[in-house]
């Protein structure tokens, strides 16, 4: 089954990249008055291709779909710019029940509805939970869902309870993150089920019953085949359309139950759009960009409205290794980790991005978390290259892929190739037009629900990881240090992910746009895009 998923994803990535490279769109945007082009509206460019709004899918995680989905499908806890988790009380309130086994009661706002007027209910959250609990079937990547034992939900109810496995639930605030709770009623409509039938199918835990649901969940939110009946939102924005260059037009969601968005329209541009052309047309107002000093804008030009801010990001660029095949063997993974010179990889990333980032070896917490220092005795022995130990895997080949195009990641793979060559490990950049986690070898579900082994077109995926959602372990608090240390040791023993370096981040912002707050987590600078405002003075990149 995952072979079919991978084939579909590869075709989609190829077609999307080919389409987007033609430059900025002249796509008309519908509405009253004269017909407007996409470039006539407020523009926000992101540093990734825009392939899906499903941030819980393998493709969504690989392309950081959270950047687009954060204000379409808001999280239960909204990530703030200082790393805090802000309760989204407009949507839901939570209560942790006392007891040895953690339980959290979620009560949804009676006013919370989707942009088609349908109420947000526990069924939407049940779908997210089941998708995360069955990654091989759904093609999902939501590791923290593994902490949940069950979710008690009555069809259409506004209250539900998440019951966690004994000793689990430390990262419960990371559940139901941005872009992971999707409209279950839209999925149910596609598979011809009513609400009761839909919940029964999900709670059956029968792969054959859930497969039609999984397929729609996985593919129905793809932007290449934009379906307005599927893409209904419960955030302050909704999607109005997708343009010829892959740009996604967001408009104010009149059904939103919280404060209305300050801007009525935001056009989100993919990384493959021509940034220089967007600047020339006055369409780029905020951007999450690849480099600190882009050639396509001159900040010193008289009248330029732009500033650029750079940060060492919260996320960790990480290799995620295949779950089946040679690189699923711990001894080969250990050998690979021993040949990688993380300092060289970090230097390559820094050189291309223009942002100096450190090498990173810690898994379970953010690299800048003070707790990382208390894990150093576990992490540090694994950092320095050891080519003799790495030679255990000599004469092997590791095919690495990443979301493309990305010059920085290409340089990182090249640095790994050079550092591992003396150990006899051949690292090959197999990205071509772009890869996702769906292209990595692993396990799948067969026609009768049996587990199958699926070959991938790559052995490892290089992408940014949020440690708080990637690893299903204890809460990052000093009181949980013993459990965090145990988890770090276990992760270095199994080594399904190899941390490499901090992710560099650069942002371009028009000075006339207010309330823009830099954030380097998965939601990016657009975490509060509904609060962005434009001053009366019209910005220009031309001299006065």
Residues ≥6 apart with Cβ < 8 Å to 451: 136, 443, 444, 445
Instruction: Indicate the pLDDT class of residue 200, thresholds 50, 70 and 90.
Output: very high
Instruction: Indicate the pLDDT class of residue 192, thresholds 50, 70 and 90.
Output: very high
pLDDT digits (tens, 9 = 90+) for 476-504: 999 999 999 999 999 999 999 999 999 99
Span 288-299, average pLDDT:
95
- pLDDT at res. 85: 85
Span 328-335, average pLDDT:
96
- pLDDT at res. 448: 67
- Inter-residue contact 535 to 42 (CB < 8 Å): no
State pTM to two decimals: 0.91
- pLDDT at res. 446: 72
Check pLDDT > 70 for residue 21.
no
Whether the upstream peptide bond of residue 48 has omega within 30° of 0, thus cis, is no
**CA separation, residue 287 to residues 50, 61, 121 (Å):** 14, 20, 34
Span 450-475, average pLDDT:
92
Residue that is written with structure tokens 């708080």 in the block:
468
Q: Average pLDDT, whole number, for the chain?
A: 92
Instruction: Indicate the pLDDT class of residue 79, thresholds 50, 70 and 90.
Output: confident
End-to-end Cα, the chain, rounded Å: 59
Span 172-183, average pLDDT:
97
- 3-class DSSP state for residue 195? helix
Residues ≥6 apart with Cβ < 8 Å to 256: 115, 234, 235, 236
Higher pLDDT, residue 442 or 531 = 531
CA distance 397 to 407: 22
Check pLDDT > 70 for residue 538.
no
Q: Of 14-18, 261-265, 392-396, 437-441, where does mean pLDDT reach its minimum?
A: 14-18
Q: Of 438-447, 469-478, 516-525, where does mean pLDDT reach its minimum?
A: 438-447
User: Backbone dihedral region of 45: left (phi > 0), alpha (psi from -120 to 50 degrees) or beta?
Assistant: beta
Tokens of 83: 């790393």
Angle at the Cα of 269 (from 266 to 275), degrees rounded to 5? 120
- pLDDT at res. 452: 78
- pLDDT at res. 35: 76
- Phi–psi pair at 306, nearest 5 degrees: -95, 150
CA distance 509 to 512: 8
Supply the Cα-derived Rg of the chain in whole angstroms: 23
Instruction: Indicate the pLDDT class of residue 34, thresholds 50, 70 and 90.
Output: low
- Inter-residue contact 492 to 41 (CB < 8 Å): no
pLDDT digits (tens, 9 = 90+) for 106-146: 999 999 999 999 999 999 999 999 999 999 999 999 999 99
pLDDT digits (tens, 9 = 90+) for 96-107: 999 989 999 999
Instruction: Kindly tell me the burial class for residue 226, based on how many C-beta atoms sit within 10 Å of its own C-beta (0-12, 13-18, 19 or more).
Output: middle
What domains, with CATH codes, occur in the chain? 315-504 (3.10.105.10)
Span 530-535, average pLDDT:
95
Percent of the chain with pLDDT strictly greater than 70 = 91
Angle at the Cα of 106 (from 527 to 115), degrees rounded to 5? 55
């Amino acid at each position: 089954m995952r072979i079919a998923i991978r084939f579909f994803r590869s075709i989609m990535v190829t077609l999307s990249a080919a389409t987007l490279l033609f430059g900025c769109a002249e796509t008309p945007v519908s509405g009253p008055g004269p017909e407007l082009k996409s470039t006539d509206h407020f523009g926000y460019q992101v540093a990734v291709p825009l392939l899906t709004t499903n941030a819980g899918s393998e493709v969504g995680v690989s392309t950081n779909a959270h950047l687009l989905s954060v204000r379409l499908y808001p999280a239960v806890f909204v990530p703030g710019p200082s790393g805090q988790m802000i309760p989204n009380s407009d949507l839901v309130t939570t209560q942790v029940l006392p007891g040895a086994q953690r339980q959290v009661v979620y009560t949804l706002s009676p006013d919370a509805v989707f942009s088609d007027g349908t109420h947000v209910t526990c069924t939407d959250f049940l779908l997210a939970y089941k998708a995360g609990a069955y990654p091989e079937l759904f093609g999902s990547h939501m590791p923290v869902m593994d902490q949940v034992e069950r979710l008690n939900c009555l069809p259409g109810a506004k209250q539900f309870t998440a019951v966690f496995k004994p000793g689990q639930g430390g990262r419960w605030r990371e559940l139901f993150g941005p872009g992971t709770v999707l409209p279950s009623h839209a999925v149910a409509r596609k598979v011809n089920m009513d609400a009761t039938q839909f919940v029964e199918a999900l709670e059956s835990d029968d792969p054959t019953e859930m497969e039609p649901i999984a397929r729609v969940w996985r593919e129905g939110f793809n932007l290449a085949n934009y379906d307005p009946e599927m893409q209904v939102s419960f955030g302050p924005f909704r999607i109005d359309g997708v343009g010829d260059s892959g740009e996604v037009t967001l408009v104010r969601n009149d059904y939103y139950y919280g404060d209305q968005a300050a801007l009525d329209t935001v056009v989100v541009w993919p990384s493959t759009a021509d940034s220089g052309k967007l600047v020339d047309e006055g369409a780029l107002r905020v951007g999450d960009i690849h480099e600190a000093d882009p050639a396509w804008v001159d900040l010193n030009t008289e009248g330029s409205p732009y500033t650029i801010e750079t940060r060492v990001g919260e996320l960790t660029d990480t290799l995620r290794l295949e779950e089946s095949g040679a690189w699923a063997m711990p001894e080969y993974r250990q050998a690979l980790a021993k040949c990688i010179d993380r300092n060289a990889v970090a230097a390559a990333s820094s050189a291309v991005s223009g942002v100096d980032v450190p090498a990173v070896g810690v898994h379970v917490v953010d690299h800048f978390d003070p707790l990382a220092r208390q894990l150093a005795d576990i992490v540090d022995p694994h950092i320095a290259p050891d080519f003799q130990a790495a030679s255990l895997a000599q004469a092997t080949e590791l095919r690495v892929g990443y979301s493309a195009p990305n010059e920085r990641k290409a340089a990182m793979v090249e640095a790994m190739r050079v550092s591992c060559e003396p150990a006899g490990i051949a690292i090959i950049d197999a990205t071509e037009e772009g890869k996702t986690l769906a292209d990595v070898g692993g396990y799948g579900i067969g026609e009768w629900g049996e587990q199958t082994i699926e070959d991938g077109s790559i052995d490892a995926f290089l992408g940014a990881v949020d440690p708080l959602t990637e690893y299903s372990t204890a809460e990052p608090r000093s009181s949980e240090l013993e459990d965090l240390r145990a988890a770090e040791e276990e992760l270095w023993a199994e080594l399904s992910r190899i941390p490499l370096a901090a992710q560099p981040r650069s942002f371009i912002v028009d000075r006339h746009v207010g309330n823009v707050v830099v954030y380097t987590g998965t939601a990016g600078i657009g975490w509060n895009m509904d609060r962005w405002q434009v001053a009366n003075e019209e910005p220009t990149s031309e001299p006065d």
